[in-house]
Amino acid sequence: MADSMIVGHFAGVIPLAAVSLVNSIFTIIMVIGIGISYGLTPLIAQENGRKNYRECGKLLSSSVFINAFTGIILFVTIYWGLLSVIGFLKQDPRVVEQAKPYLGLLGVSIVPLMIFLTFKQFAEGLGFTKQAMYISIGGNILNVFLGITFVKGLFGVPPMGLQGVGLSTLIDRSLMAVVMGLYIFRSPAFKAYLPNFSLRRISLKRVSRLLKVGAPVAMQYAFEVSAFSGAAIMMGSIGVAQQAAHQIAINLASMTYMMASGISAAATIKTGNNFGRRDFNELRLSANSSYHIVLGFMCITAFIFTALNTYLPWIYTSDDKVIAIASQLLIIAALFQIFDGAQVVGLGILRGLGDVNIPTIFTFLAYWIIGLPFAYYWGIVLGAGAKGIWYGLSVGLLCSASLLYLRYNYVAGGFVEKK
């Protein structure tokens, strides 16, 4: 969000459209990494619920190995893959020219991001969530300061334009990885878990356990985010203003989504803990509470989006055409984020239960078989433009939320019956 605000105000509409294009591509790669790292959280929560502290340390060792290797593979994919094809997506040549160096810097940042996520997911699986929050807040403050400095060229630094926010993101993620790692290894809270941590003894069995959860989660994220990325590319084929407006609206919706993801992470941890203890009654109560919390929160943010739809885009840009389109998209975002919150919590609960394969199929059906084709038909074929594309995305989110809620009731009901 900070990158988009800085670019929109200090660099202009073309760079903001370039941010939209790059984020639509990079985010697919990034969420694959995030999904792989999420394989650690439910397993740590379950083992901690069983008081199996030795296994927690061993799982951390395997997770560091998997995530570091994944980060390198994703960097190679971006640097020698995506940078080569970005010019063939039928986008404005001015946008592509500015997008390439920005994408390259984000590609490098994926490696420290994966290291940060490893330690973050370990701490969160044990119920320590505030520390990662503090580090993230500090990192974002630093990112804003460095971003403005590099983009505008303050304190003797030459103006870098769009590349400036890419460089600030790389520095920010590198420092966050270092600080999070130091916290894990120096905090007394983790001493009981770390005696069995060793990068010299990586267990293929544990690597397999982590990937059996992490890989489907990565696919879940990839299916969802790639649908939104496809929408961004559709926007670019309509016009630069529509693409920039899409970036503003999706940026604001992503902020509320990430807050809902926090509730989802809590649901994963509590579900995993209760599942490890075989306390199925408490599992249902905490899972239902997670649904109530996220729906209440998303209704509040939906009201804010609706009431301030003409004002919020001014945070990013002063271009009247972009603001007019973005304000219309925020009305649709107010509706679809309720579905988005429900589906992300459903995914979190099911991860805590270790149920990841069927939800992966659901997300593919919801976004790629239903949502994206509807978006293309409404927006491009029927000529509804930006609003039509977002109507299609809303249908996909509604389908995902409904299917995941039905799956949760089916799986959790089976556990209660077995008890």
Which of 355, 350, 345 is CA-nearest to residue 212?
355
The domain ranges of the chain are 2-418
Cβ count within 10 A of residue 382? 11
Which of 336, 347, 344 is CA-nearest to residue 408?
347
The three-class DSSP label of residue 393 is helix
What value, to the nearest 5°, has the Cα angle with vertex 20 and ends 15 and 22? 90
pLDDT tens series, the chain, 419 aa: 787 778 877 777 788 888 877 877 788 888 889 888 988 888 888 888 788 888 888 999 999 999 999 999 999 888 887 767 776 666 777 888 878 888 888 889 999 999 999 999 999 888 888 888 899 999 999 999 998 999 888 888 888 888 888 899 999 999 999 999 999 999 998 988 888 888 877 888 888 989 888 888 888 888 888 887 788 788 877 888 888 888 888 888 888 988 898 899 889 888 888 887 787 888 889 999 999 999 999 999 999 999 999 999 988 888 888 899 999 999 999 988 999 999 999 999 998 888 888 999 999 999 999 999 999 998 888 888 888 999 998 999 999 999 999 999 888 776 655 55
Query: Which amino acid is residue 186, in one-letter code?
Result: R
What the block records as the tokens of 396 is: 């996909």
What's the confidence (pLDDT) of residue 416?
55
What's the confidence (pLDDT) of residue 308?
93
- The C-alpha atoms of residue 141 and residue 406 are separated, in whole angstroms, by 40
- The C-alpha atoms of residue 99 and residue 245 are separated, in whole angstroms, by 17
Contact 240, 14 (CB under 8 A): yes
Q: Say which residues have a Cβ less than 8 Å from residue 51's Cβ, sequence separation at least 6.
A: none
Burial class (CB in 10 A: 0-12, 13-18, 19+), 383: exposed
Output helix, strand, coil percentages for the chain, rounded to the nearest 5: 85, 0, 15
Residue matched to tokens 């770390």: 194
Contact 356, 350 (CB under 8 A): yes
- The C-alpha atoms of residue 131 and residue 124 are separated, in whole angstroms, by 9
For residue 193, what are the CA distances in angstroms to 59, 116, 184, 190, 197?
10, 18, 10, 5, 8
